[in-house]
């Protein structure tokens, strides 16, 4: 490993002010640091979608260490593996930079498609000189994580996901709203419902921002483009579509089959889908292929499957629902497949609710830990989402009533609307505006 190759990616070694000129850092500063990135002081692997801001998070953390924390720039090393496929390069980079047992901060970006990257990191963590090194590693796919999660090593595997609506408000809401949200964090669904009711005073502001979130989701480039231009440009959509195609190709899968399955998901969004039907309609040989691609989409943080519940057990062989991991992705794929839908907004908000519920109940878990699933009731008494004794139903209209919640046996019944709020009724159904509920999660 030639030191010149390392130096080119770490210009702050020769001039600490160069970090201020980094394009990623400049973007954060130009947008008044509305979206905050916080990395804890521990070895960690951050896995999340492409084009979400993982590189920005790393560069901004380097900026803070140099400008605010007074860390010697020569003790900080960044290296991008976006075009690297040989894990030996990781060994070379670490050996060239970590030459003694002094304190070091190492940022390894986009390593997840490097074959055997865990092997190189594992070997390094087993060396004595790694004890005073903090590793920050990013990747865009969890596919290879199944092979090695490094048991016994002091490193955490965490998800780096699009902004939740709550985090969106913490970046763009009024100071009064941000103060309330910061000081009221829900620990369970009961406290979330209480906090959501307390947010009623901010309902007009929250509602306006939710209209933006439906279009942009939690992707920073889409958010700033929309706020600045009043729409999301084709260039932003193209960047994310190309990233999707790139990740599919890196996973050695067919772009044509992946696109066909995306078409099937968009066309059946928020409804139960049959894998065999998608295979027939899209000219795919087998429903097994469809299932395998849906599993790959899950690994790539594109979508997630939701299964029906019967007798408190998940039924995996029946029709499932598939939701994209962020509303921006629905808008992206609907645009690229040319499938406009006049009912699209009601479907989008259902997907938003699913993602927030899933993330909320699994918020303290690492990638390695088993996740609590979200299901749905199917048939005549269909309920959009069921988690334990709680059921959640979305009716995306201004006025709703308790009769809009199916007659099912659940201890907690939450009916979510555009504007209706009714916290107490004889049937134990809580009615809330969806935007207020999401703000509390």
Query: Tell me: the pLDDT tens digits for 192-225?
Result: 999 999 999 999 999 999 999 999 999 999 999 9
Residue 146 has pLDDT above 80, yes or no: no
Are residues 194 and 95 located together in one domain of the fold? no
The C-alpha torsion from 181 through 187 and 190 to 191, rounded to 10°, is -30
Are residues 312 and 340 located together in one domain of the fold? yes
pLDDT in tens, 89-131: 999 999 999 998 899 999 999 987 788 888 899 999 999 899 9
The CATH number of whichever domain residue 112 belongs to comes to: 3.40.50.300
Are 202 and 195 within 8 A, CB to CB? no
Are residues 181 and 64 located together in one domain of the fold? no
For residue 217, list its beta bridge partners: none
DSSP 422: B
Q: How far is CA 307 from the centre of its chain?
A: 20
For residue 392, list its beta bridge partners: 385, 414
Are residues 52 and 135 located together in one domain of the fold? yes
pLDDT in tens, 390-415: 999 999 999 999 999 999 989 899 99
- Residue at which a domain ends, from 129, 159, 189: 159
Which of the four pLDDT bands, split at 50, 70 and 90, describes residue 2?
Answer: low
Are residues 328 and 395 located together in one domain of the fold? yes
- Please state, in angstroms and as integers, the Cα–Cα distance from residue 213 to each residue in 148, 320, 331, 349, 405, following that order: 36, 26, 11, 10, 26
DSSP 5: H
Are residues 319 and 397 located together in one domain of the fold? yes
What's the domain count of the chain?
2
Are residues 46 and 186 located together in one domain of the fold? no
Burial 119-141 (b: 16+ CB within 10 A, else e): bbbbebbeeeebeebbbbbbbbb
284-298, 309-323, 422-436 — which one is most confidently predicted on average? Answer: 284-298
Distance CA 273, CA 282 (A): 13
Mean of the per-residue pLDDT values for the chain?
A: 92
For 46, the token pair is 């951050």
Are residues 261 and 348 located together in one domain of the fold? yes
pLDDT in tens, 265-292: 999 999 999 899 899 989 999 999 999 9
Q: Which residues contact 235 (CB under 8 A, 6 or more apart)?
A: none
Are 318 and 378 within 8 A, CB to CB? yes
Write down the pLDDT at residue 1.
56
Positive or negative torsion for Cα 346, 352, 354, 357? negative
Write down the pLDDT at residue 370.
87
- Please state, in angstroms and as integers, the Cα–Cα distance from residue 151 to each residue in 121, 125, 404, following that order: 12, 11, 48
pLDDT in tens, 24-77: 999 999 999 999 888 999 999 999 998 999 999 999 999 999 999 999 999 999
Please, what is the end-to-end C-alpha distance for the chain in angstroms?
Answer: 47
Which of the four pLDDT bands, split at 50, 70 and 90, describes residue 418?
Answer: very high
Between 177 and 38, the higher pLDDT residue:
177
Write down the pLDDT at residue 390.
95
Domain that holds residue 27: 3-159
Are residues 257 and 393 located together in one domain of the fold? yes
Q: What is the 3-state secondary structure (H, E, C) of 187-211?
A: CCHHHHHHHHHHHHHHHHHHHHHHH
Write down the pLDDT at residue 149.
64
Distance CA 264, CA 148 (A): 33
- Residue at which a domain ends, from 135, 159, 183: 159
Write down the pLDDT at residue 268.
93
Are residues 119 and 224 located together in one domain of the fold? no
Which of the four pLDDT bands, split at 50, 70 and 90, describes residue 320?
Answer: very high
For 268, the token pair is 């059946």
Are residues 140 and 271 located together in one domain of the fold? no
Are residues 144 and 172 located together in one domain of the fold? no
For 133, the token pair is 């090194």
Helix (H) or strand (E) holding 310: strand 303-310
Which of the four pLDDT bands, split at 50, 70 and 90, describes residue 84?
Answer: confident
pLDDT in tens, 331-353: 999 999 999 787 899 999 999 99
Which of the four pLDDT bands, split at 50, 70 and 90, describes residue 423?
Answer: confident
- Residue at which a domain ends, from 107, 142, 159: 159
């Amino acid at each position: 490993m030639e030191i010149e190759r390392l130096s080119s990616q770490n210009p702050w070694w020769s001039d600490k002010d160069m970090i201020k000129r980094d394009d990623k850092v400049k973007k954060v500063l130009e947008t008044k640091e509305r979206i905050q990135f916080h990395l804890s002081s521990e070895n960690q692997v951050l896995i999340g979608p492409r084009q979400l801001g993982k590189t920005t998070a790393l560069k901004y953390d380097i900026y803070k260490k140099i400008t605010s924390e007074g860390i010697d720039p020569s003790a900080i090393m960044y290296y991008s593996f976006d075009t690297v496929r040989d894990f030996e390069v990781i060994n070379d980079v670490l050996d060239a930079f970590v030459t003694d047992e002094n304190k070091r901060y190492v940022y390894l970006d986009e390593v997840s498609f490097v074959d055997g990257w865990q092997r190189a990191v594992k070997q390094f963590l087993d060396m004595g000189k790694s004890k005073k090194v903090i590793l920050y590693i990013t990747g865009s796919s969890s596919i290879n994580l199944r092979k090695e999660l490094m048991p016994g090593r002091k490193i955490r595997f965490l998800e780096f996901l699009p902004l939740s609506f709550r985090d969106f408000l913490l970046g763009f809401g009024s100071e009064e709203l941000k103060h309330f949200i910061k000081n009221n964090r829900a620990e369970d669904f009961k406290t979330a419902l209480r906090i959501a009711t307390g947010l009623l005073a901010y309902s007009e502001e929250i509602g306006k921002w939710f209209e933006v979130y439906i279009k942009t989701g939690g992707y920073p480039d889409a958010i700033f483009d929309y706020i600045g231009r009043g729409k999301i440009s084709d260039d932003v959509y193209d960047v994310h579509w190309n990233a999707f195609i790139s990740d599919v190709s890196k996973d050695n899968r067919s772009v044509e089959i992946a696109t066909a399955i995306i078409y099937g998901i968009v066309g059946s969004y928020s409804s139960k889908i049959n894998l065999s039907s998608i295979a027939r309609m899209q000219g795919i040989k087998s429903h097994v292929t469809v299932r395998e691609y849906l599993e790959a989409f899950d690994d790539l943080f594109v979508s997630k499957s939701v299964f029906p519940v019967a007798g408190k057990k998940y039924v995996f062989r029946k029709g499932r629902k598939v939701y994209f991991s962020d509303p921006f992705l629905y808008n992206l794929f609907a645009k690229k497949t040319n499938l406009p839908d006049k009912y699209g907004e009601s479907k989008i908000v259902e997907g938003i609710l699913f993602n927030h519920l899933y993330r909320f109940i699994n918020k303290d878990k690492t990638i390695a830990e088993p996740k609590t699933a979200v299901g749905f009731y199917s048939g005549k008494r269909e309920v959009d989402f069921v988690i334990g004794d709680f059921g959640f139903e979305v009716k995306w209209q201004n006025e709703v009533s308790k009769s809009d919640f199916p007659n099912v046996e659940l201890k907690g019944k939450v009916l979510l609307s555009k504007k209706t709020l009714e916290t107490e009724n004889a049937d134990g159904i809580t009615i809330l505006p969806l935007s207020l509920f999401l703000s509390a999660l």
